[in-house]
């Protein structure tokens, strides 16, 4: 079909599990054996192959392992992305496009897009700025989302506390306690921010680096 059509650049399997024939989708060796010829086909004809898959229901797993069936689906792919609806969008048109794995670029960020336009002529419009979230956060259960929310609040607290310059570490601890932010949470937030701890006159300080 590729030779017949000519100048083919993209093939989409939706969902890819519907095209496995007698292969059992949860068996790694069988799935890898089925996908290897596709990878060779893509390389030979210099085209992209997209396999769409659905999520399993195990919310305890990290996002990368939420793909239905064998882990070979994500392990074999060069790039894996999550498409997830924005639950807070009243129009139900916004989607997140979040990286799970990629070896074709460095540190990609989550993007957001909306589907608009008249029926039969939809348009996909990507937002110009990346979104500060991850696939794990988007798929987290309510308990985990609460932890992520607390972490984001701690990040905001530290950014505000340090915006005027260095502050003694024990003072940060006192302010955090007053704001009902646990020591564990604000220290986790600190580890994810560009914050430096240093000692001066036998006392520890923290500063936010530019």
From 111, 133, 155, give the residue that closes a domain: 133
- What is residue 148's predicted lDDT score, i.e. its pLDDT? 61
From 66, 98, 133, give the residue that closes a domain: 133
Do 168 and 79 belong together in one domain?
Answer: no
Do 158 and 197 belong together in one domain?
Answer: yes
Give the residues across from 97 on adjacent strands.
Answer: 83, 111
Instruction: Say which residues have a Cβ less than 8 Å from residue 114's Cβ, sequence separation at least 6.
Output: 93, 94, 95, 124, 125, 127
Do 51 and 116 belong together in one domain?
Answer: yes
Tens-binned pLDDT, residue by residue, of the chain (210 aa): 999 999 999 999 999 999 988 888 888 889 999 999 999 999 999 999 999 999 988 777 778 888 888 888 998 899 999 999 998 888 889 999 999 998 888 889 999 999 888 888 889 999 999 998 888 888 876 555 556 677 788 888 899 899 889 999 999 999 988 888 888 889 988 998 999 999 999 999 999 997
Q: What is the CA radius of gyration of the chain?
A: 23
Instruction: Say which residues have a Cβ less than 8 Å from residue 205's Cβ, sequence separation at least 6.
Output: 166, 167, 168, 169, 197, 198, 199
Q: Is the pTM of this model over 0.75?
A: no
What range defines the domain where residue 202 resides? 141-208
Q: 3-class SS at 94? A: strand
From 80, 108, 133, give the residue that closes a domain: 133
In total, how many domains does the chain have?
Answer: 2
Do 162 and 78 belong together in one domain?
Answer: no
- What is residue 147's predicted lDDT score, i.e. its pLDDT? 62
On the 0-12 / 13-18 / 19+ scale of CB atoms within 10 A, 207 is middle
């Amino acid at each position: 079909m590729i030779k017949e059509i000519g100048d083919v650049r993209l093939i989409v399997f939706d969902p890819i599990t519907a095209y496995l024939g007698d292969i059992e989708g949860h068996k790694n060796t069988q799935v890898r054996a089925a996908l290897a010829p596709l990878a060779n086909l893509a390389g030979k004809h210099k085209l992209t192959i997209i396999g769409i898959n659905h999520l399993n229901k195990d919310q305890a797993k990290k996002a990368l392992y939420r793909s239905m069936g064998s882990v070979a689906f994500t392990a074999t792919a060069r790039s894996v992305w999550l498409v997830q609806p924005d639950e807070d969008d009243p129009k139900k048109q916004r989607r997140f496009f979040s990286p799970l794995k990629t070896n074709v670029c460095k540190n990609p960020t989550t993007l957001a897009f909306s589907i608009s336009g008249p029926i039969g002529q939809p348009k996909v419009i990507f937002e110009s700025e990346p979104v500060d979230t991850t696939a794990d956060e988007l798929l987290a259960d309510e308990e985990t989302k609460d932890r992520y929310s607390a972490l984001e609040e701690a990040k905001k607290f530290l950014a505000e506390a340090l915006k005027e310059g260095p502050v003694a570490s024990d003072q940060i601890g006192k302010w955090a306690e007053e704001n009902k932010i646990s020591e564990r949470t604000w220290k986790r937030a600190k580890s994810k921010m560009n914050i430096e701890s240093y000692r001066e006159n036998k006392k520890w300080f923290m500063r936010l680096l530019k």
